[in-house]
A = this chain, B = another copy of it.
Amino acid sequence: MDRTDRRLVAALRADGRASYAELARAVGLSASSVHERVTKLETAGVITGYRAVVDPVSVGIGVTAIVGIEPGENGQDDPIAAALDATPEVESCYQVAGDNAFVVVVRVADIEELSQVLGRLRAIPGVARTRTTVVLSTVFEGRPRPDRPPTDGGS
């Protein structure tokens, strides 16, 4: 993971369909060198996949909610995590410190579906209660952090 690798990762985070020729121009190497580096980054697990980013409204999941999952007194985390994993409306699932064992991001078509999903989340064994925060608007999301220039050690 030298500077070139970091620049390649940053470029692919910004445009996951960039061609090796484009990446080569961006980092000043040949396409075959870039190909070898990117392959290594993929096999090393640094790059875990590529995804199209989609307008949620267009694909029928225009309503987003952030839901805290509070477990009961002696609730185990693992079966709760498995139940959340089995709920397709749960897009992301974080195990967290604090009152909630988990915070999940739920995406659904409308408020009615949100209500149904929240009912299912509450019905998960070991879940004592849920705390739901409805998203009014997504200001921005999943933004790639720009590649930071190497720290200048000072003059």
Name A residues whose Cβ lies closer than 8 Å to a Cβ of B: 1, 6, 9, 12-17, 44-55, 58-59, 61, 64, 66, 81, 84-85, 88-98, 100, 102-103, 107, 133-146
- List 17 A–B pairs whose Cβ atoms lie within 8 Å, in order of A's numbering: A6-B59, A13-B51, A16-B17, A16-B49, A17-B17, A17-B50, A44-B58, A45-B55, A47-B52, A49-B52, A51-B142, A84-B139, A93-B138, A94-B135, A97-B133, A97-B136, A107-B145
Q: Which residues of B contact A140 (CB under 8 A)?
A: 85, 92-93
Q: How many copies does the complex hold?
A: 2
Q: Which residues of B contact A90 (CB under 8 A)?
A: 143
| A97 CA to B61 CA, complexed, in Å | 18
For A135, give the chain B residue with the smallest CB separation. B94
Tell me whether B136 and A88 are in contact (CB under 8 A).
no
For A84, give the chain B residue with the smallest CB separation. B139
